[in-house]
Amino acid sequence: MEKLLEMAKKVSDKAEVYSIGYTHNSVSFKNAKLHGIESKIQSGASLRIIKDNKLGFAYTRNLANRQELLQNAIDSLEGEVEANYDFPLTEKLARIDTFDPSLENVLSTQMVEESARVCDLLKSETDAEISVSSTTYTETIRVMNSCGTDISGESTFYVMYGSLVFPGSASGIWGAFLSKDFRQMPENILNEMIKLYTSSSKIVEPKGGKMKIMFMPNSMIALKWRISIGTSSKSVYEKVSPIANKVGEKIFDERITIHDDPLNDKHPGARAFDDEGVACKPLTIIENGVLKSFYYDLDYASKLKAKPTGHGHRTTAWGGDPISIKPVPALTHMIMEPGKKSFSDLVKSIDRGIILEGALGAHSGNIPNGDFSIGVSPGLYVENGEIVGRVKDAMVAGNIYEMLKQVVDIGDTLYPSWGTAWLPPILCDNVSVTTKN
């Protein structure tokens, strides 16, 4: 990498080399039987150069031919993508605990045994179609640039997913467990899955209309996505965010507080720096319902004359290969402050409504504007504080900027939700539901 950076500095005004290497091992069970074992080792590097305020970009999985990679970056300057920013000089980083060396020694046989244990337990309590997957990740990232930055970090990540799919359907109850080291999936997660599944085995066909909706961690992607887009500096710059001029104003219920905290190493996936080498720090997005700040990468910080917040990440809405993606503003470590109500208390407060365990079509609707229209997959129907069955063929629609002003309550427990976000269940009122009836 050092040689590539020196070569790039000779033909550009500014240069950056990003490299990543990772190992992942996974085990999957379908229908409670071993389905597959996979191991993957991959690495690569990408190069960004800036010349005459234009951006060049190229990437490779093999650094054997540095000159070819550099030439590809030079050729891409012809695209005339503006780059009026400087790469950072980052020398001091927060010390965070992201790596557990024991995970590197975990054998596939251990993962198979743990997955089989989970399958057996779930099978003994339900008639569901059971799927379980477990994966270990070890990752190393390094960022160097022509300003003198040379920083690196390594992390370990263990994740296990379990699902109980209702017979004759494609929807079910999901549970997830994340850790920096290998350990058994906690009993409380499995018990919650079993309880939700068994209480909703009956199919019901309620009438539609306005009712209470409890968004669970698996369906929170519909809200998380719209909050992330609405508070992105990219959306502000492109004039598509409806809250672009509302910093300091109340936009949600006062019980909603949302942070992005990459330094929180209580959970796996913490980051001391982003993919552009900017030091990460906690950032409050929403506080007591009031919009406090937007988040920035280098590019949009420059365009909006703001300071970068350490949110330049090589990702897309659907993930992707970080080597091949240029950094964009991304809210990767969202945490919503929990409330004080247990899940059972939240259910008891529903006179008529749906627990939205999963959502289909979270990508539909006008996302920047906060609109959503999602399929219930599944939805657990509640009457008079009790789950009476599950709903099929129903749609939930609304706008987050209206709905999140009508919060009934927020759960007291944080759950992993779509990556490294940690969110509680949230119960909202007067949400539109369309059913067969």
Write down the pTM of the prediction: 0.94
> CA-CA distance, 176 to 218, in Å (whole number)?
9
- Residue located via tokens 């490294």: 420
- Whole-number pLDDT of residue 320: 81
- The counts of H helices and E strands in the chain are 9, 25
> CA-CA distance, 334 to 325, in Å (whole number)?
21
Per-residue tens of pLDDT for the chain, all 437 residues: 899 999 999 999 999 999 999 999 999 999 999 999 999 999 999 999 999 999 999 999 988 899 999 999 999 999 999 999 999 999 999 999 999 999 999 999 999 999 999 999 999 999 999 999 999 999 999 999 999 999 999 999 999 999 999 998 889 999 999 999 999 999 999 999 999 999 998 999 999 999 999 999 899 999 999 999 999 999 999 999 999 999 999 999 999 999 999 999 999 999 999 999 999 999 999 999 999 999 999 999 999 999 999 999 999 877 788 999 999 999 999 999 999 999 999 999 999 999 999 999 888 889 999 999 999 999 999 999 999 999 988 999 999 999 999 999 999 999 999 888 999 999 999 999 999 87
How far is residue 297 from each of residues 47, 182, 275, 434, 436, measured CA to CA in Å?
A: 17, 33, 9, 40, 45
- Whole-number pLDDT of residue 437: 73
* Helix, strand or coil, per DSSP, at residue 101: helix
Fold of 2-195: PmbA/TldD fold (3.30.2290)
* Helix, strand or coil, per DSSP, at residue 200: coil
How far is residue 109 from each of residues 25, 102, 175, measured CA to CA in Å?
A: 11, 15, 22
- Whole-number pLDDT of residue 48: 98
* Helix, strand or coil, per DSSP, at residue 193: helix
| Burial (Cβ within 10 Å: 0-12, 13-18, ≥19) of residue 59 | buried
- The domains of the chain are located at 2-195, 202-437
For 421, residues 6+ apart whose C-beta sits below 8 A from its C-beta are 220, 224, 333, 334, 335
- Whole-number pLDDT of residue 381: 97
DSSP state of 247: T
